[in-house]
Chain A
Amino acid sequence: MAILLEASMKMEVTSEENGITKVILTGNLDIKGALEVDPQFKEISQTKHKVIVDLANVGFLASLGMRTLVMSAKALSANGGQLILLKPQTDVEKALKAAGLDKIIPIAPDLVGAVALFR
């Protein structure tokens, strides 16, 4: 069987209204993907305040990807900021809930809902 290797993760960062930063992830947040985006998440957590992570194009989320999200949420929270997760796919949301991340990081079904969740 031929195996087609793909890059795990693409990450786009945009500035929205009201000082909100939107991080759009595309690909798989697996061990490789998490290692790829970790440095950028670290920088965003130290320099931004309100962050929305758009998971609509993330097809797979592993524990190391969750670690990246929790570390980022904790760093933002320590500086008075907040991280919101947006539109996870069904299986990804199931994984988030299985690990209990939905109890510590808000999940919104759409952008309007995500913006409204900021304290």
Chain B
Amino acid sequence: MQAWHRDLSRSLAEIETATQWVDQVASALELPSDKSYALKVCAEELLTNIFQHAGAASSRIHLALVRFPDRVELAVEDDGKPFDVSAATPHRVDHPLENAQPGGLGIQLIHSFADRLNYTRAGLGNRVVAEFRLLPQAGSVSRAGGER
């Protein structure tokens, strides 16, 4: 298991730096490009959500990326207002275009790109863990597929 941690404050510049950090950790872990993209989407949207909605009293954010043999987990903690992103209703943009509301698509992207979401009141306050499953690497033999 490999774990990477980063603390940041609630500011636009820090969010920009943090998403680039996630991207670079994903590269260092040699994740497949689609998983790397999914991680970055979820990090960006979770942090944007905190930046926009956590409330003025919120100031601290903690990020953790943990690589397991079969998955990667992105944990995002913040000390803002309670918000369970895993229970929030995702919605796609309405059509036709005339009826479309331009905002609110972040929740939809998080639910689409993460394989699993878990929310708890822990750590700094809000703690969301987004899970991204990895396919077995070439050459490895899974228990289910390798035995008869």
Residues of A within 8 A of B (CB): 1, 3-6, 8, 30-32, 35, 60, 62-64, 66-68, 70-71, 73-74, 77, 91, 94-95, 98-101, 103-105
The 7 closest A-B pairs by CB, nearest first: A100-B92, A98-B112, A63-B106, A63-B105, A70-B102, A91-B37, A104-B97
In the complex, what distance in Å separates the CA atom of A63 from the CA atom of B106? 5
CB pair B97 A74 closer than 8 Å: yes
Which of A31, A77, A98 lies in contact with B109, CB distance below 8 A? A98
Specify which chain A residues have a CB less than 8 angstroms from the CB of B40 in the assembled complex: 60
CB pair B93 A30 closer than 8 Å: no
A-B contact pairs, 24 of them (CB 8 A): A1-B25, A4-B20, A5-B17, A6-B20, A8-B16, A31-B44, A60-B44, A62-B109, A63-B48, A64-B106, A70-B102, A73-B100, A94-B34, A95-B41, A95-B112, A98-B92, A98-B109, A99-B93, A100-B95, A100-B108, A101-B93, A103-B92, A104-B95, A105-B97
In the complex, what distance in Å separates the CA atom of A1 from the CA atom of B100? 41
Q: Assuming A8-B16, A68-B102, A100-B94, what are 10 further A-B pairs, CB within 8 angstroms?
A: A1-B25, A62-B44, A63-B103, A73-B97, A73-B100, A74-B98, A77-B97, A99-B92, A99-B105, A103-B92
Q: Which residue of B lies closest to A91 (CB)?
A: B37
In the complex, what distance in Å separates the CA atom of A32 from the CA atom of B96? 28
Q: Does B87 make an interface contact (CB < 8 A)?
A: no
How many chain B residues touch A (Cβ–Cβ < 8 Å)? 36
In the complex, what distance in Å separates the CA atom of A70 from the CA atom of B104? 12
CB pair A30 B16 closer than 8 Å: yes
CB pair B16 A74 closer than 8 Å: no
Q: Does B15 make an interface contact (CB < 8 A)?
A: yes
Q: Does B113 make an interface contact (CB < 8 A)?
A: yes
Residues of B within 8 A of A (CB): 12, 15-17, 19-21, 24-25, 28, 33-34, 37, 40-41, 44-45, 48, 51, 92-98, 100, 102-106, 108-109, 112-113
CB pair B15 A31 closer than 8 Å: yes
Specify which chain A residues have a CB less than 8 angstroms from the CB of B97 in the assembled complex: 70, 73-74, 77, 104-105
Distance in Å from the Cβ of B125 to the closest Cβ of chain A? 22
In the complex, what distance in Å separates the CA atom of A86 from the CA atom of B28? 31
Which of A62, A68, A98, A103 lies in contact with B48, CB distance below 8 A? A62
Q: Which residue of A lies closest to B110 (CB)?
A: A63
In the complex, what distance in Å separates the CA atom of A31 from the CA atom of B100? 20
CB pair A5 B95 closer than 8 Å: no
